[in-house]
Structure 1
């Protein structure tokens, strides 16, 4: 599609941006509202699973659609992704308990994975690597804009309306996006002669599922050394070995192994994995600090995260244009990652809402500077007919990083919270309920549950029903809960910081090749690509 007129490309980009915005806004709108939803449906122990299942299904959809879109084109998959996402959003609003919420969010994840895999690859079809810098910045800005209005709108909606409207309010936008893609996106020639790698897809899926379930359940549902967790990891390892063998022989592999002999692809994907593991694992728990520790309502919680999104929108747009102008990208990775680290360190030691805002600004600047780089590096380093699968590999590693990061940080959060609660109970400030009326003591024990801090109206209502003479005790209990939660969050944020530090160290080893001005690879690059590729016996 690179040969299309500039006007035609802009028209197609409008349709792509609409589809992406529909998917993105439905993700960001629930961020500040999720603690309240969990409190209403109950099941804080499954909180990370609501996020994990979304990431799991979107990850599977992303990597499987990458190769299929190289064969059948991007358009049918963008349309299918929108429809599946809309069905998932509609059903989510009818969730009666935490388990239904998890299932329906999983359906949404499938749609989101298909959309994201297709739209980013479509940009690669339309523009040369040099031009993609600008458009990648625009796409990041679109996601950033949804991050600006989403959390605030989500907080306001959950404070003033039934939470189901979070998932229904933008459904009309889905219809608009669907018909824009249907009528504006051009038909392209497909390569239906290629065979679908069903066996490779199966074992790749089994590998991903085993890894993600193992990390999600380890330390929470089961002990790390339990037979269930060890079996999952063993099954994932076995599936991986079979997958590698299958891909080595496949004529049209779902994830070509030779991609990972390209050092640019490998290092970029590992950095993307670490960045998302640290970023998602830490940021998903920021509302716990704002709402749980500081007692801010979901509406105002959205205002706290808004500066990050604004900073990211501005910086990603500026940096995207600079990358397109100069064709250079490595310096922005090396500059952006330290700024992200600084923002996460502020999160680890913040003790007020204003410090949380400062952390969001710094982190957003770093995210806007560094994040656009690593998709461009991967797309620039592969042949045009591998754009879909290469982009999918990049998003696969990012999604894996985000999902594993959330799961591991959730384990860290839960174990640290239990440890801090036990420490508080054993301290001199612990409370003895032996001399208190048993019925009243039972009510006071409810204030040992940190989940109560996430539903401020319910907490205030319960507190108002208790006698005035025990109000000082209740205030101390709540303060103890907040101290324990705050200490646990510090541990989570520091763990996330450590992962981004490793990503920074790896970025110094990223080889930089100038961004091409055409989708066609120069002969020298073709020769280099062939030199580093695996020799696939099936293609010999």
Structure 2
């Protein structure tokens, strides 16, 4: 059994790895102009991010199960190696095509790191203590979201865009040095079969779904054959995967997990929280830019109230569970407060100031933070030790699916409503397209009356967006009310077993 000091060192290494992998999803945006100026390939620039997100989305649910089968330490080391190799290759990429290919390698490594980080935290700490440590991951994701763009801009301006990738190498070595020497876990006993059909079918379904949510309404219209084909492919591969999992000896995501109410509720709340929290946060900077006239750089900083609310709630929830051992009402409180924040944000218009908007965002962030890590604890508590990785990555994947679906649906709602409102507020042919409405050079070039009409149309579209999200939050609230209090399991950190869970109260 690992001593406490070693567990803390390993956890520190996991946090460094988590920061590194999540930062890489946000740090590249401000470095893209310099990257394109060096490599060219402007027509393929979207794939630099899409390849990373796609590879991560596919890998996360698979990595959790592979860790259950072969051990989480080997998977973590393999993921870290792939991420660092991909980072080094991206930094040395001679062309845009090679960069895209290397980003996919990097994203696959990031998926292994994210899945391993949550599952290994479950191995290191007993459940009540785990709640406090898992809440620290919210700090990691918040820091990466806020620090990514300015760090990327600084490196591209003062060194080179290639250092956006090279900077991962020393961080990765730190993570490796903190984890490998001190991480001692028993290897899974026995030889368990790998569910290759399930891996292929689930990977294909996630690929189709990720491309669907990335392209719908942007690269292709919602009614285009491309989008229809991706939707059909998602449904077909998903149905085939469900059938295959019923016959698999060791399925990627065991159906038995969903027969436990706690796990099913955790996945439902994760999807609703992903859509209403992270999905909506994407459009808040656009509101400040178009309606408030705030610059692109400052609009990101105005998300600080939401980030602060999320951090306070996540850390507070972790400490509350660690102290009391009770958690089952936190997801319901989370979705209720989220619904209040969404309703308040829907009331914003062109006359609303930044202070009310900041206060409403803080409420939304606080609601999201109350359940962000608690639902992971719920899923891990519901799963037997041999399925801990699958349960952890299943909830994380559910949140990613909710976020991606929410962004796609909300983007379509915003674009449609903006086009409708702009038609009645500005002269025909003078309003910019929805995709161009947040470009500063476009907004600055509009005449005053047209600019005011565009802002009013966007404010109406923004309100419609949040009214669309409100039923999702209420559905998450209804699901969370089904959660029963199951006393947290008692198992030794790093052990292979543990006492059975007591019956639900």
**Structures share a fold, TM > 0.5?**
yes
Equivalent in the alignment of 2:419: 418
Q: Deviations over 1:312-366 (max 9, x none)?
A: 2232222111102211101222222222222233333333332332223222222
* Structure 1 position 179, deviation (Å): 3.5
Structure 1: state its 5+ residue gaps: 432-444, 464-472, 529-540
Give yes or no for contact 1:20–1:119 (8 Å, CA) kept in 2.
yes
Equivalent in the alignment of 2:8: 10
Quick one: distance in 1 between partners of 2:123 and 2:291?
47
1:251 aligns with 2:252: no
1:138 aligns with 2:111: no
Quick one: distance in 2 between partners of 1:289 and 1:511?
39
Helix, strand or coil at the partner of 1:448: coil
Q: Deviations over 1:160-200 (max 9, x none)?
A: 99777655555532332233333343364244611211111
Helix, strand or coil at the partner of 2:25: helix
Cα 1:45–1:175 shift into 2, 3 Å: closer
Quick one: distance in 2 between partners of 1:51 and 1:416?
27
Quick one: distance in 2 between partners of 1:422 and 1:160?
45
Q: Deviations over 1:344-398 (max 9, x none)?
A: 3333333333233222322222222222211011100111111011111111211
Cα 1:22–1:235 shift into 2, 3 Å: closer
Give yes or no for contact 2:271–2:400 (8 Å, CA) kept in 1.
yes
Equivalent in the alignment of 1:383: 384
1:125 aligns with 2:123: yes
Equivalent position to 1:240, from 219, 238, 242? 238
Quick one: distance in 1 between partners of 2:102 and 2:449?
39
Equivalent in the alignment of 1:494: 467
1:514 aligns with 2:487: yes
* Structure 1 position 86, deviation (Å): 4.4
Quick one: distance in 1 between partners of 2:186 and 2:90?
35
Equivalent in the alignment of 1:448: 432
The Cα RMSD (Å) is 3.7
Quick one: distance in 2 between partners of 1:407 and 1:365?
24
Helix, strand or coil at the partner of 2:447: helix
Structure 2: state its 5+ residue gaps: none
Give yes or no for contact 2:13–2:174 (8 Å, CA) kept in 1.
no
* Structure 1 position 37, deviation (Å): 9.4
Quick one: distance in 2 between partners of 1:213 and 1:491?
25
The higher radius of gyration belongs to: 1
Cα 1:409–1:39 shift into 2, 3 Å: farther
Any residues of structure 2 matched to 1:183-222 within 5 Å, and which? Answer: 183-186=181-184, 188-191=186-189, 193-222=191-220
- Normalising by structure 2, report the TM-score: 0.84
Return 490-499 or 120-129, whichever deviates more: 490-499
Give yes or no for contact 1:340–1:363 (8 Å, CA) kept in 2.
yes
Equivalent in the alignment of 2:450: 477
Cα 1:83–1:413 shift into 2, 3 Å: farther
Cα 1:163–1:290 shift into 2, 3 Å: farther
- Normalising by structure 1, report the TM-score: 0.79
* Structure 1 position 123, deviation (Å): 0.7
Give yes or no for contact 2:9–2:179 (8 Å, CA) kept in 1.
no
Equivalent in the alignment of 1:301: 299
Give yes or no for contact 1:39–1:454 (8 Å, CA) kept in 2.
no
Quick one: distance in 1 between partners of 2:318 and 2:285?
30
Quick one: distance in 2 between partners of 1:77 and 1:489?
43
Return 159-168 or 388-397, whichever deviates more: 159-168
Quick one: distance in 1 between partners of 2:501 and 2:119?
24
Return 179-188 or 158-167, whichever deviates more: 158-167
Cα 1:155–1:384 shift into 2, 3 Å: same
* Structure 1 position 125, deviation (Å): 0.9
Quick one: distance in 2 between partners of 1:96 and 1:353?
44
Cα 1:155–1:328 shift into 2, 3 Å: farther
Give yes or no for contact 1:72–1:190 (8 Å, CA) kept in 2.
yes
Helix, strand or coil at the partner of 2:138: helix
Q: Deviations over 1:219-263 (max 9, x none)?
A: 555555555444433333332333233222222222211111111
Equivalent in the alignment of 1:19: 17
Helix, strand or coil at the partner of 2:392: helix
Quick one: distance in 1 between partners of 2:147 and 2:366?
18
Quick one: distance in 1 between partners of 2:405 and 2:331?
23
Cα 1:411–1:98 shift into 2, 3 Å: farther
Equivalent in the alignment of 2:316: 318
Q: Deviations over 1:24-59 (max 9, x none)?
A: 33335467x599999999999997x87765443322
Q: Deviations over 1:447-476 (max 9, x none)?
A: 7355555443x459x85xxxxxxxxx6233
